[in-house]
Amino acid sequence: MSNSSQTWMWKNVIILVVFACVITGKIMITKVDYESNPDYLTMKVQVNNETEGSTVDVDGSLFLNVAQGVFVNIELDSKMDGEYMTMIGTNKELCNMEEAGMDPVVPLLNEELEKFGNLSFNCPFSKGYYRVRKFRMSNDHMLVKMVPPGEYIVKMDLQHQQPDATDKVLVFKLSFFFEIS
């Protein structure tokens, strides 16, 4: 497999798992840790472990309009020999139109997200209430087929850098612990 094919595959896997949208009968979320910055938003994440697998509900209220300076850091850890090891990580500016146009995953995830609520990965992010209910993807979705069996943690943090600021402020952190069988 070429290096660019591996990079494309891992980008798909990371984004897929981070948003917990691969939840099917084969995947069970065992734990979710999250925190949000009350100056930006309130957020609640709930896992629903059902007989078919896990689904995710997300409720959030964004208090500001944000059109630039939104950065995401994503890390995928896999359990090997009893310890979690980072398999891959990435970071990017979400509102950068040049980067967003080259990413084939965002349109696929937006299509799925729209089936479950009003959350989107498109900038700008307008203040208001966002929700997702029983979020999951079907077993035959191409992104789901790429995730091998095992134990994983996906960690994501979102940061915002105000115009003319030098520091980034944490907006939220989210970690999904899950098993794929």
Domain ranges of the chain: 28-180
Q: What is the pLDDT of residue 34?
A: 92
High-pLDDT (> 90) share of the chain, %: 26
pTM, 2 dp = 0.72
pLDDT in tens, 133-158: 988 756 566 655 666 788 988 888 88
Q: What is the pLDDT of residue 103?
A: 56
pLDDT in tens, 70-118: 888 888 888 989 999 988 777 778 787 665 555 555 566 667 778 888 8
More confident: 126 or 19: 126
Q: What is the pLDDT of residue 33?
A: 92
Q: What's the residue count for the chain?
A: 181
Conformation bin of residue 134: beta by default, left when phi > 0, alpha when psi is -120 to 50: left
Backbone angles phi, psi at 117, to 5 degrees: 170, -160
Q: Which option is the CATH number for 28-180: 2.70.220, 1.10.10, 3.30.420, 1.10.3470?
A: 2.70.220
Backbone angles phi, psi at 167, to 5 degrees: -105, 150
Cα 14 from Cα 103, distance rounded (Å): 13
